[in-house]
Amino acid sequence: MKPSQIAIIDFGSQYTHLITRRIRQLGVLAKIFPPLVSTQELKGVRGIILSGGPNSVYDQTAVRYNPQLFKLEVPILGLCYGHQLVAQHLGGKVQKGRVKEYGFANLEKIVDGRILAGVPKQSRIWMSHGDSVVQLPPGFINCAKTSDCNVAAMACASKNIYGLQFHPEVAHTKAGQLVLSNFVFKICHCQKDWSLEKYFSQMVKKVKAVVGKRNVFLLVSGGVDSTVCFALLEKILGKNRVFGLHIDSGSMRLNESAQVKTALAQAGFGNLHVYDASAKFLAALKGVVDPEKKREIIGRTFLQIKDEVMKKNGLKPKDWVLGQGTIYPDTIETGGTKHADKIKTHHNRVKEILKLMRLGALVEPLSELYKDEVRQVAKKLGLPASLINRHPFPGPGLFIRVLCSSGQEIKKSKNQKINLQRIVGQKLKSIILPLKSVGVQGDNRTYRQPVLLSGSLDWNKLHDFSIRITNEVHEINRVVYLVAPAKVKLSNLKVKKAYLTKDRLDLLRRVDALVNEEIKKAKIYNDIWQFPVVLAPLGLKGGQTIILRPVESQEAMTVNFYQMNKKVLDKIAKKILQIPGIDLVLYDVTNKPPATIEWE
């Protein structure tokens, strides 16, 4: 291990690898270790970061760790769970917080100190926790607080140990990179020794080592990740050793499969085969409601189709490895580290894929990169901007944007309604929707109901209400706003029995194409990171509901909902309501966390 490395001890945070990424953006190597790592393995490190995690340090869920970490005489920085662990281990006290904090909070700096040097007196930060430090360990001082967290930062200069309840590794923490830079350079005295160029060189060697004399069978969706993976593998191995397969699962956007083949051919990828498997996917997903089951079936069906195509083309399995354009957020949300909670099973992380990984029959050149880094690699490879700058599109496609229901109403507690009324008051009307969606709260997966708000449009107020509702009402993980029609009797809103069908997919395809056309006309396409358009089986007159979910982000681990210009939004909503079968248009006003980007 090089002496400038930072050791990251992983307690299961969804952001653990984001810490690695932020540190390597500073030009410094970092490596992740398990909590029970031996001190011998950490010999030579300049500093240790204790990550966040979904557990509590004070109960039976606490993660076992090596207490000798605190005797290494190197600087230590605890983040979220790591902050609480520092406090408890050294004699402080941690307990369940008065309220939970998910998303933005305002940090008020009390003491400057080394870790917060240069951070403004008031600064916006990103929180994701339910527990709080309520008593400082001996020798520590309180450096910062928020309105709901009295100890948001603490420090012990004599021991060179620091704790932050917030997440500096998240892009939404305004001074986060400055805080990490303070720790890495001013406190740990590291030297720069990492770059994307060095990683690229290592990646080439790794691909050659995994593949050996075999060839690669690559599943190509047409998105930036699989396209870059295709280009990389052809560059490393040669075009004759890479078989690209685009499977039309029936979940693609309007005319997308044809567009993918044309675009890739124009970019020089002639070795792409297209296979129509839409009927097989729909048959496999018939009657399925649960989003986890959907994802598992989708992943398994992709592999079954892959095997069929290999057999049809006379390709012997022993001569091939499977290639995928997996990037790091995919592995994180599937529980990519030992103590991480599984948020959702990505189609490229089903058990059959994990088996191939164990057998050394899987190659994923991009699996340690984030979307913006993948785009940097794409530029390095000379891929056209039309492919590089496309909005991300999930591998399961529209299958996970068509919400399904058995038609049974989900019961709502009186407590939920009382808490909502207390928060929203008379300013907006609110109703809890009889649906559920996937979220991530305190590094845990949640599957909870959304709240619908209606009234005059004020993005700032909606943003603040969204944070308060998801922080204070335990059963809620997402908030949506009624765009159109403006006046409806929400009590008449009913969920109906609906499953994945070609008709529902075609309806969503039509709306999705309309939305993408309009945001391009309005010249806001490049302002938006990703724009899921969701079809929900909610209606007033027997129709369905469209939910718009545009987001802003840098790496997809955290996002803000996009605050669209009202005139543009009204124009889009008006056109959507003209499509037969659509009763309502809603707008998702939830950040990540507590909601994930996709609803499923």
The predicted model gives 251-264 an average pLDDT of: 85
**pLDDT confidence of residue 443:** 60
Average pLDDT over residues 508-536: 97
Tell me if residue 346 is catalytic. Answer: no
pLDDT, residue 282, reads 97
Is 70 exceeded by the pLDDT of residue 4? no
Question: Residue 405 has what DSSP assignment?
Answer: B
The predicted structure's pLDDT at residue 383: 85
* pLDDT number for residue 343: 46
**Predicted local distance difference test score (pLDDT) of residue 258:** 84
Residue pair 533/508 in contact by the 8 Å Cβ criterion:
yes
**Is 90 exceeded by the pLDDT of residue 546?**
yes
- Pairing relation of β-strands 30-33 and 76-79? unpaired
pLDDT given at position 162: 98
Task: Say whether pLDDT at 490 is over 50.
Answer: yes
Tell me which long-range contacts 147-154 makes (C-beta under 8 A, separation of at least 24). Answer: 147/105, 147/106, 148/97, 148/98, 148/99, 148/101, 148/105, 148/471, 149/97, 149/101, 149/105, 151/87, 152/105, 152/107, 152/125, 153/107, 153/109, 153/115, 153/116, 154/83, 154/86, 154/87
How far is Cα of residue 461 from the mean position of the Cα atoms in its chain?
25
User: 341 pLDDT exceeds 60?
Assistant: no
Predicted confidence at residue 423, as pLDDT, reads 87
Residue whose entry in the numeric block shows the structure tokens 């309806």: 507
pLDDT of residue 209: 94
Cβ atoms within 10 Å, residue 475: 15
Q: How confident is the model at residue 89 (pLDDT cuts 50, 70, 90)?
A: very high
| pLDDT given for residue 64 in this prediction | 95
Residue 49 contacts residue 120 (beta carbons within 8 Å) = no
pLDDT at 107: 96
Mean pLDDT of 208-237: 90
Q: Which listed residue (143, 149, 156, 169) is catalytic?
A: 169
Residue 506 scores a pLDDT above 70: yes
Least confident segment among 114-123, 211-220, 442-451: 442-451
Q: Determine the pLDDT at residue 1.
A: 44
Q: Is the pLDDT of residue 350 over 80?
A: no
| Burial class for 214, CB neighbours closer than 10 Å (0-12, 13-18, 19+) | middle
Q: Examine the pLDDT at 566 and tell me if it is beyond 80.
A: yes
And the tokens for 272?
A: 């792409």
User: According to the model, what pLDDT value does residue 582 have?
Assistant: 97
Nearest alpha carbon to residue 591 among 431, 515, 446, 477: 477
H/E run at residue 481: strand 476-484
Has 273 been annotated as catalytic? Answer: no
Instruction: Work out the average pLDDT over 451-470.
Output: 92
For the segment 307-320, the average pLDDT, to the nearest whole number, is 92
Q: Which two tokens stand for residue 491?
A: 């009590």
**Above 60 in pLDDT, residue 353?**
yes
Catalytic choice (80, 143, 190, 404): 80
Q: Is the pLDDT of residue 298 over 80?
A: yes
User: CA–CA distance from 328 to each of 20, 65, 443, 491 (Å)?
Assistant: 11, 25, 16, 42
Structure confidence at residue 440 (pLDDT): 78
| pLDDT band, residue 219 (cuts 50/70/90) | confident
Q: Cα 219 from chain centroid?
A: 22
pLDDT in tens, 165-203: 999 998 889 999 999 999 999 999 999 988 888 888 888
Quote the pLDDT of residue 171: 84
Task: State how far the Cα of 309 lies from the Cα of 245, in Å rounded to an integer.
Answer: 9
Percentage of the chain surpassing pLDDT 90? 57
Q: What is the mean pLDDT of residues 549-557?
A: 86
So what's the pLDDT on residue 361? 76
**Is 188 in the active site?**
no
The mean pLDDT value of the chain amounts to 88
CA 534 to chain centre: 17
Percent of the chain scored above 70 by pLDDT? 92
Q: Point out the catalytic residue in the list 17, 83, 167, 346.
A: 167
Query: According to the model, what pLDDT value does residue 279 have?
Result: 96
When pLDDT is averaged across residues 427-432 and rounded to a whole number, the result is: 87
CA distance 143 to 127: 16
